[in-house]
Chains A and B, each alone.
Chain A
């Protein structure tokens, strides 16, 4: 997927060293901005690759370039639109912190 390269953000040690206005993109301060409580998990056995979730994801985090759809959990906010819109119920919203935590 065409994503900016993530550079781990390190706080400037001194206030004087803070940037003046614009900051470089690709500095990910916190995965998914710390928003996500439930995360979508795709059941690839059920998925028919209709790409409805890919089209409707407001953050564009669903990658269709491989053989199966993949979700970029660094940017997914857990809104659940993909799960709700999936016609074959292939996406389940799973509480964060479980065994399958990939975020």
Chain B
């Protein structure tokens, strides 16, 4: 099948990428706004264009459990979820990562109840930051397509052997249509060879997975941690190779946009990145020295890259579409701990916005940058700010 450009939604882009990655087993349970992805994959299996076992399971907990079972015999697996579904499967996530199964999962970012809401924020995925899964956040449908393919390469690398969660903002990315460049199947096969592993059950040489050990529990997780650190280099390496083969590259762990000579930068995750880019372009036209840091991976965390940025700018704003109630934004906490390692101490402001799908407008972003530039000049302000709030507040 030759490469082509087609007009599809983010959900469909993920489904197309899964078809080209040729997983042996797909186990999934539909949930808004991920539903279209698993429906399309089901269509592909039905029409024979994807030769996989498709397990229509009864819940997300079963979806991940079935993926773990399939991965335990050496299968390449895929599942997808969102929000409440991710939380329902939460118990099984450390099973997958602890057993070192390179499962790839798409998560359509949607807020968590209650209040019940369907629109996007990152409270679902970031609540699972400590589950031993890598987490990557996409800016558009093309990146989502590309990251599914990259995710398998990274996860299955013998140096890494850990699962990946590919995150797309619900509706904003999952349900909007974009032109997506689909590569040639042969090129994808060359980039992503069949999955072979010794980490599986085997009749000839019996092994046990998900076993119990009290004596060596700590050492096993230390090994997992050390391998996850190695993943940083593998992510960069896979991104470079992808760029050579397909002409698209994303910067590995994070992307810096117009950060050279910037006084103030904003850290983003996911779809709001595009809006911030456009604000930067117009503010740069008016002489403001502002830039963007698009956080792509939050696990493994781009520690050295953040330290490097902190040493070059005067103010950092972190735009969190989440809130760890009782403290601050989760990404802000993570970025702040790396900034502490820097030789300089930039001003730090946390912007909490977009919860439950609340809009983050260009004006909101421009206000953030103007405030950050004042902070860069030494003005003291609040550490945590809420963006685009309809009511007055005293926080």
Contact with B along A34-54 (1 / 0, CB 8 A): 000000000000000000000
The reply to whether B211 and A23 contact each other, CB–CB distance below 8 Å, is: yes
The reply to whether B200 and A22 contact each other, CB–CB distance below 8 Å, is: yes
Taking CB atoms, residues of chain A closer than 8 Å to B215 are: 29
Taking CB atoms, residues of chain B closer than 8 Å to A98 are: none
The reply to whether A15 and B219 contact each other, CB–CB distance below 8 Å, is: yes
Q: Quick check: is A66 within 8 A (CB to CB) of the other chain?
A: no
Contact of A20 among B161, B206, B216 (CB under 8 A): B161
Size band of the interface chain B makes with A: 20 to 34
Looking at chain A's contact residues, the main secondary structure is loop
Taking CB atoms, residues of chain B closer than 8 Å to A11 are: 216, 219
Which chain A residues in 20-34 approach chain B with CB under 8 Å?
Answer: 20-26, 29
Instruction: Kindly state the separation between the CA atoms of A4 and B205 in the bound complex, as whole angstroms.
Output: 11
What's the least CB distance linking A32 to chain B, in Å?
14
Instruction: Kindly state the separation between the CA atoms of A86 and B163 in the bound complex, as whole angstroms.
Output: 49
Instruction: Kindly state the separation between the CA atoms of A81 and B280 in the bound complex, as whole angstroms.
Output: 73
What's the least CB distance linking B160 to chain A, in Å?
9
Given contacts A11-B216, A29-B213, contact A23 B208 (CB under 8 A): yes
Interface-lining segment among B31-39, B220-228, B253-261, B318-326: B220-228
Which chain A residues in 42-87 approach chain B with CB under 8 Å?
Answer: none
The reply to whether A22 and B198 contact each other, CB–CB distance below 8 Å, is: yes
Given contacts A4-B206, A29-B215, contact A22 B223 (CB under 8 A): no
The reply to whether A24 and B222 contact each other, CB–CB distance below 8 Å, is: no
Taking CB atoms, residues of chain B closer than 8 Å to A21 are: 99-101, 161, 199, 209
Interface centre among A12, A18, A20, A23 (most CB of B within 10 A): A20
Instruction: Kindly state the separation between the CA atoms of A26 and B202 in the bound complex, as whole angstroms.
Output: 14
The reply to whether B199 and A18 contact each other, CB–CB distance below 8 Å, is: no
Given contacts A15-B222, A15-B223, contact A22 B216 (CB under 8 A): no
Instruction: Kindly state the separation between the CA atoms of A15 and B158 in the bound complex, as whole angstroms.
Output: 16
Which residue of B has the minimal Cβ distance to A27?
B208
Which chain B residues in 158-176 approach chain A with CB under 8 Å?
Answer: 158, 161
What's the least CB distance linking B297 to chain A, in Å?
21
The reply to whether A16 and B226 contact each other, CB–CB distance below 8 Å, is: yes
The reply to whether A23 and B100 contact each other, CB–CB distance below 8 Å, is: no
The reply to whether B222 and A20 contact each other, CB–CB distance below 8 Å, is: no
Given contacts A4-B206, A23-B207, contact A18 B198 (CB under 8 A): no
Instruction: Kindly state the separation between the CA atoms of A21 and B160 in the bound complex, as whole angstroms.
Output: 11
The reply to whether A18 and B223 contact each other, CB–CB distance below 8 Å, is: yes
Given contacts A20-B199, A21-B101, A21-B199, contact A26 B206 (CB under 8 A): yes
The reply to whether A25 and B199 contact each other, CB–CB distance below 8 Å, is: no
Q: Quick check: is B201 within 8 A (CB to CB) of the other chain?
A: yes
Instruction: Kindly state the separation between the CA atoms of A29 and B215 in the bound complex, as whole angstroms.
Output: 9
What's the least CB distance linking A51 to chain B, in Å?
27
What's the least CB distance linking A55 to chain B, in Å?
25
Instruction: Kindly state the separation between the CA atoms of A58 and B319 in the bound complex, as whole angstroms.
Output: 55
The reply to whether A25 and B207 contact each other, CB–CB distance below 8 Å, is: yes
The reply to whether A15 and B100 contact each other, CB–CB distance below 8 Å, is: no
Instruction: Kindly state the separation between the CA atoms of A73 and B91 in the bound complex, as whole angstroms.
Output: 34
Taking CB atoms, residues of chain A closer than 8 Å to B205 are: 24
Contact of A16 among B158, B208, B223 (CB under 8 A): B223
Which chain B residues in 192-249 approach chain A with CB under 8 Å?
Answer: 198-201, 205-209, 211, 213, 215-216, 219-220, 222-223, 226-227
In the assembled complex, 7 residue pairs joining A and B whose CB atoms fall closer than 8 Å, in A order, are A15-B226, A18-B220, A20-B158, A21-B99, A22-B72, A23-B207, A24-B205
Having A15-B222, A21-B101, A21-B161, one finds 13 other A-B pairs with CB under 8 Å, namely A12-B219, A15-B226, A18-B223, A20-B158, A20-B199, A20-B223, A21-B100, A21-B199, A22-B198, A22-B209, A23-B207, A24-B207, A25-B207
In order of increasing CB-CB distance, the 9 nearest A-B pairs are A21-B100, A21-B199, A22-B207, A18-B223, A25-B206, A22-B209, A15-B222, A22-B199, A20-B100
Interface of B toward A, CB cutoff 8 Å: 72, 99-101, 158, 161, 198-201, 205-209, 211, 213, 215-216, 219-220, 222-223, 226-227
